[in-house]
Structure 1
Amino acid sequence: MLLAAALLLKGLAISLLARIAWLDFTTQKISNRDVVLLLCIGLGSLQLLSILTGSWWDMGLSALAGLLLFVALFPFWAMRKIGAGDVKLMTAVSFLIGGNGLVVFSLLLLVFALATALIVKNPFMLPAGAFRLYVQHLDRKGVVPFGVPISIAAICTIAFQICSYVITP
Structure 2
Amino acid sequence: MLLAASLLLKAFAIPLLARIAWLDFTTQKISNSNVLLLLCLGAGSLLLLALPSDSWWDMTLSTLAGLLLFIVLFPFWVLRKVGAGDVKLMAVIPFLVGGSGLVVFSLLLMVFAVVMAMVMKNPFLLPAGAFRLYVQHMDRKGVVPFGVPISAAATGAIAFQIYGSWLLASSSGVLQQLN
The Cα shift of 1:64 comes to 0.5
SS at match of 1:26: helix
Deviations along 1:20-61, one digit per CA (max 9) or x if unpaired, are 000000100000000000000000001111124431101100
SS at match of 1:127: coil
1:102 is matched with 102
Give the letter aligned to residue 74 of structure 1: F
2:160 is matched with 160
SS at match of 2:59: helix
2:55 is matched with 55
Instruction: Provide the aligned length of Structure 1 versus Structure 2.
Output: 169
Percent of aligned pairs with the same amino acid: 72
Q: Is 1:66–1:95's contact at 8 Å kept on the other side of the alignment? A: yes
2:177 is matched with none
Q: Is 1:3–1:52's contact at 8 Å kept on the other side of the alignment? A: no
Question: RMSD value over aligned CA atoms?
Answer: 0.9
TM-score normalized with structure 2 length: 0.92
The Cα shift of 1:135 comes to 0.6
TM-score normalized with structure 1 length: 0.97
Between the aligned partners of 1:73 and 1:146, the Cα distance in structure 2 is 13
The Cα shift of 1:125 comes to 1.5
Structure 1 unaligned residues grouped into runs of 5+: none
Structure 2 unaligned residues grouped into runs of 5+: 170-179
Larger-Rg structure:
2
The Cα shift of 1:128 comes to 3.8
Q: Post-superposition, which runs of at least 4 consecutive aligned residues in structure 1 deviate over 6 A?
A: none
